């Protein structure tokens, strides 16, 4: 392949990628800030923030937004607390029945969450966990933990044992090794885990509906009734809000991570 042709191919493929993966989201954003953009206009004619005003003028949205962020944040934290030791053990140690445990941990990805929720519903009613945020947080762990363990495990797999040993040789105890050697080297895995878990928690409708029983209101709970309403700019704004949350979370997480690394690298 000549160089010029390769360059052309690259440009074509990149634009194809943008067209498939990013352009639809931009269209949605345009819809949310447009005014009276309806069939058969192929592009917006007037811009207006009415959709956004309606979304933020709705008092339910604020409390739901807070609930959603609280639940997703706690779910991310719990995932790290539970998944890190599990992933470490699965990556570093060999023991009997490891393959079986690994596939058991995969099951919640495969078994429909609806089946698990229907099965657990009665148990959770007995435990008094339904209709409250705690129960919803608990049930969100099911579809998220397998992914967290998987991503972190492959992170540990790539990280060679020697780094830990080097830290230990230099006289650091295992805690120091973990916080100053492993965490900085694992940042890509940590970042993907956090974002993945956040998005999955954000996207749960049916689990929150069943376990939260309508009393725990998260953003998807409001989104579904909105979907059937005819006001396109409002639904579009609401959808963009959903797309913005993970992006803002990613930025916030990245800043925290950077600050942490800077603090650690200080002599």
Partner 1 sequence: MAASDSFATEGNQPFFHFYLELWRNDTFLSALRVSVWVAFISTTMALIIGLFLTRAMFRLFKRDDWKFIAWFPMLIPHFVAAYICFLLFAPSGWFSSVVFQIGWLETMSQFPVFVNDPMYLGVILTYVWKEIPFVILMLLPVYQEMDLRYEDVSKTLGGNRWTVFKTVELPWIWPISLEVFLILFVFVLGAFEVPALLGVTFPKMIPVLAYDWFYQAGWVNRPLAQAMMVILSLLAIVAAALILTFSQRWRYKWASRRDDS
Query: Which spans of this chain sit near partner 1 (rule: CB under 8 A)?
Result: 6, 9-10, 13-14, 17-18, 20-22, 24-25, 27-28, 31, 38-42, 99, 102-103, 106-107, 109-115, 118-120, 122-123, 195-196, 199, 202-203, 205-206, 220, 223-224, 227, 235-236, 239, 242-243, 246-247, 250
> What length does the chain have?
267
Min dist CB 189 to partner 1, Å, is 12
Min dist CB 134 to partner 1, Å, is 20
Q: Which two tokens stand for residue 249?
A: 């979370």
Task: Choose between 85 and 214: whose C-beta lies nearer to partner 1.
Answer: 214
- The C-alpha torsion from 41 through 24 and 26 to 219, rounded to 10°, is 110
Contacts of 169 (CB under 8 A, 6+ apart): none
Min dist CB 149 to partner 1, Å, is 14
Task: Choose between 103 and 166: whose C-beta lies nearer to partner 1.
Answer: 103
Closest C-alpha to 141, from 170, 94, 108, 186: 108
Closest C-alpha to 256, from 176, 156, 187: 187
- Cβ atoms of 165 and 92 within 8 Å: the answer is no
Task: Choose between 32 and 84: whose C-beta lies nearer to partner 1.
Answer: 32
**How many angstroms separate the CA atoms of 117 and 99, rounded?**
26
Task: Choose between 83 and 202: whose C-beta lies nearer to partner 1.
Answer: 202
Task: Choose between 20 and 169: whose C-beta lies nearer to partner 1.
Answer: 20
DSSP 77-129: HHHHHHHHHHHHHHHH---TTHHHHHHHHHHHHHS-HHHHHHHHHHHHHHHT-
Min dist CB 195 to partner 1, Å, is 7
Angle in degrees, 0-180, between the axes of helices 59-92 and 187-202, rounded to the nearest 10? 140
Residues forming beta bridges with residue 34, ordered by sequence position? 47
Residues forming beta bridges with residue 35, ordered by sequence position? 46
Min dist CB 153 to partner 1, Å, is 13
**How many angstroms separate the CA atoms of 240 and 137, rounded?**
24
- Cβ atoms of 227 and 235 within 8 Å: the answer is yes
Min dist CB 167 to partner 1, Å, is 26
Min dist CB 266 to partner 1, Å, is 30
Task: Choose between 85 and 119: whose C-beta lies nearer to partner 1.
Answer: 119
């Amino acid at each position: 392949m000549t160089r010029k042709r390769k360059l052309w191919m690259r440009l074509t493929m990149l634009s194809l990628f943008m067209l498939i993966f990013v352009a639809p989201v931009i269209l949605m954003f345009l819809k949310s800030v447009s005014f009276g953009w309806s069939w058969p206009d192929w592009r917006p004619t007037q811009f207006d923030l009415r959709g956004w005003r309606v979304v933020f003028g709705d008092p339910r949205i604020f409390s739901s937004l807070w609930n959603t962020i609280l639940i997703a944040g706690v779910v991310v934290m719990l995932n790290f607390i539970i998944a890190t030791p599990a992933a470490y053990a699965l990556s570093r140690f060999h023991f009997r029945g490891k393959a079986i445990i690994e596939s058991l941990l995969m099951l919640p990805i495969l078994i429909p969450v609806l089946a698990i929720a229907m099965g657990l519903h009665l148990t959770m009613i007995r435990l008094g966990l339904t209709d409250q945020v705690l129960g919803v947080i608990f049930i969100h762990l099911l579809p998220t933990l397998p992914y967290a363990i998987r991503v972190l495990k492959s992170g540990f797999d790539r990280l060679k044992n020697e780094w830990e040993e080097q830290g230990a040789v230099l006289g650091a105890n295992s805690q120091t090794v973990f916080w100053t050697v492993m965490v900085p080297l694992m940042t890509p895995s940590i970042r993907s885990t956090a974002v993945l878990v956040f998005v999955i928690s954000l996207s749960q409708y049916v689990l929150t509906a069943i376990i939260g029983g309508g009393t725990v209101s998260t953003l998807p709970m409001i989104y579904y009734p909105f979907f059937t309403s005819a006001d396109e700019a409002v639904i579009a704004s609401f959808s963009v809000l959903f797309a913005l949350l993970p992006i803002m979370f990613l930025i916030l997480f990245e800043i925290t991570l950077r600050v942490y690394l800077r603090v650690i690298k200080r002599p």
